[in-house]
Structure formats: structure tokens, C-alpha cells
Structure 1
Amino acid sequence: MSPIGGTMNLGVTVIRSRHSVRKYKNDPVEDKIVTDALDCARLAPTARNEQPWLFGTVKDPETLQKIADMADNGKFIADAPICFAVFGKRDAKYYLEDCCAATMQLMLGLQAWGVGSCWVAGEKKEYADDVRRMLNVPDEYVLVSLIPAGYPAEITIAKKKVLDDIVFSERYEEK
């Protein structure tokens, strides 16, 4: 049963079941799942239908280790069977919003297959340009996010705020 009564919607179930996963089994993520998740990302909403993104995948353990060494909050990337990299065209006015939407859809596409992931920041990070150069991505793109992914070895569920504490209707009033 859903919190609002009736049966649960499958899409809502996938969204509610997604949690950041930082510990992965060694099992590879099947190519059909990788392709499906990338297709979900490509279908994300985008301002003026610009689609200013470029998606990369990294499976090579040595490259994963190099990325992990660069990412100050992504050391666990080295242990993931795959890491996705989302880049946006620097000159697109809404590349950040568009690529964030694509990142989330990619993560939900993975979750629908039982593959866990974690969003690691790219944009505004000192290592963004180093990762871009290492992956041989043209300078017209900027790294927006890294998404290490794999079958969860462990899931830690972070406590989330309750809905009543973060929602208002019409106008905000102090509680």
C-alpha cells in the first residue's frame, strides 16, 4: 500500500528504493543494463531540447583507481565495476540543470535493474578538468558528475527529513 492509499506505482517504488551505494560486489554490470541506463539518461528533460551532454563509461580498474585518487569524496570509485561520467557543453546556458536531470535518470535506470550507484560531484571540483583530460573529452565539455555503480554489497540508508518539515503550500510560514 502506498502512503496515500491504493496500490503502489512501479516508478514511485523505484524512486523510493534508490539509496546511495558505496560498497559493491565484484560482479560486472551487464552491457544491456549499461545501455538501458544510458538511454534513460539521454531521455532526460532538457532546456530548449539542447541535450548538451556527453556520457562516458569506465570499467578499466586502473582508470577507476586514477579517478578515485582524484575525487576527494569518491575513493570508493576504485571498487565499483563501472563508473559513468556525465559531461555538459560549457557554452550551453542550462548544461548544469540538464546534466543533473540526466544524472538522476541514469541512476534511476540503474536502480530499476537492481544496480546501486552514488552521485559524486564533478562540477565545481578541482579534479573536474583532470578527469576530463584523462578521459580525452574535448575542452568544450565540463564534468558534471561521476556515478560509480554496481550490485550492492552493502546499503546504508540515510535518514531523510519528513515531508511536513520541507513542504509548504502557497506561501511559506514559520512553524
Structure 2
Amino acid sequence: MSPIGGTVNLAVTVIRSRHSVRKYKDTPIEEKILKDALDCARLAPTARNEQPWLFGAIRNRETLQAIANLAENARFIADAPVCFAIFGKKDAKYYLEDCCAATMQLILALQSWGVGSCWVAGEKKEYAEDVRTLLNVPDEYTLVSLVPAGYPEEVQIKQKKILDEVTFFERYEEEE
């Protein structure tokens, strides 16, 4: 049963079970899972249906190490079986929102297959241009996010705030 009532559906289960994973088993991810996750990202909603994105799936160990060396807080990318790179077309007005929606759909699709991941920032990071250049992505795109992924070796679950702490209905009112 869901805490709100009714039966919990698969989407809710996938969303509630997702946590950032930074330690992965050295097990390759099947091609069909990679393609399914990329397909789910491609189907994300976009403003004006622009679809201003380009998705990369990087599995080459040397390239993963190079990305890890660039991303100062994400050295664990080097140990992931795959790292997805999500790029947005710079001239699209809502590329950031669109690519963030695609990133989340990719992450949830991976989770539905039991593949853990971690959203690593790309937008506004000093290494964004270097990653774009490393991956030979055209200049019209900018890095929005990196998503290293793999079967979890270790999951560290952080406590989340309770629903009442982060929600309001109709109008926000301070408690006295």
C-alpha cells in the first residue's frame, strides 16, 4: 500500500527506490538496457517539442578516466561501466529544463533495470567545455549533465526531509 492510499505502481516504486550510487560492480550493462535508457531520455517532454539534446554513452576506460580527471567532484566516473553525457543546444531557449527532464528520465529508466546512477552537474561547471571537446561534440552544444551508471556495489541512503517540511497547498504560510 502507498502511504497516500491505494496500490503502489511500478513508476512510484522506481522513483522511491532511486538513490545516488557512486560505487559500481565491474559488470558491463547490456546493450538493450543502454538503448532503453537512452530511448526513455529521448522521450522526455520539451518546450515547443524542440528536443534540443544530444546523448552520449561512454564505455571506453580511457575516456571514462579522462572525464573523471576533468570532473573535480566525480572521480568515481572512472570506475563506472558507462557514463552518459547529456548535451543541450545552446541556442534553444529552454535547453536546460529540457535536458534536465531527459536526464531524470534516463536515471529512472536505468533504475527500473536495477542499474544505479548519480547525476553529476555539467551546466556552468569549468570542465563542461573540456568534456565537450574530449567527446568531439559540436560547438553548438553545451554539457548539461553526466550520469555515471552501473550495478551498485554500495548504496548509501541519505535521509530525506519529510513531506510536510517541503510542501504547501494553495498558499505558503509560516508556522507560528
- Give the total of aligned pairs: 175
Matches within 5 A, 1:15-164: 15-164=15-164
Gaps of at least 5 residues in structure 1 are none
Scaled by the length of structure 2, the TM-score of the pair is 0.98
Task: Give the CA deviation at 1:72.
Answer: 1.2
Q: Deviations over 1:48-101 (max 9, x none)?
A: 000000000110111101100110111100000000000000000000000000
Q: Which runs of 4+ in 1 moved over 6 A?
A: none
Structure 2 letter corresponding to 1:5? G
- Paired amino acid for 1:130: D
For residues 122-162 of structure 1, the C-alpha deviation after alignment (integer angstroms, 9 at most, x for no partner) is 00000000000000000000000000000000001011110
**Distance in 1 between the 2:123 and 2:33 partners?**
26
**Identity, % of aligned positions:** 77
Consecutive unaligned residues of structure 2, counting only runs of 5 or more, are: none
Give the distance between the partners of 2:22 and 2:168, measured in 1 at CA: 33
Q: Distance in 2 between matches of 1:137 and 1:36?
A: 22
Any idea what SS the aligned residue of 2:62 has? helix
Q: Give the match for residue 13 of structure 2.
A: 13
Q: Which amino acid in 2 is paired with 1:172?
A: Y
Structure 1: how far apart are the matches of 2:108 and 2:14? 7
Q: CA deviation at 1:11?
A: 0.6
What secondary structure sits across from 2:100 in the alignment? Answer: helix
Q: What's the CA shift for 1:5?
A: 2.3
Distance in 1 of aligned mates of 2:93 and 2:123: 14
Name the CA distance, whole Å, in 1 between partners of 2:18 and 2:170. Answer: 29
- SS in structure 2 opposite 1:57? strand
Alpha-carbon distance in 1 for matches of 2:80, 2:162: 31
The amino acid that maps onto 1:74 is A
Counterpart amino acid of 1:173? Answer: E
d(CA) in 1 for partners of 2:170 and 2:83? 41
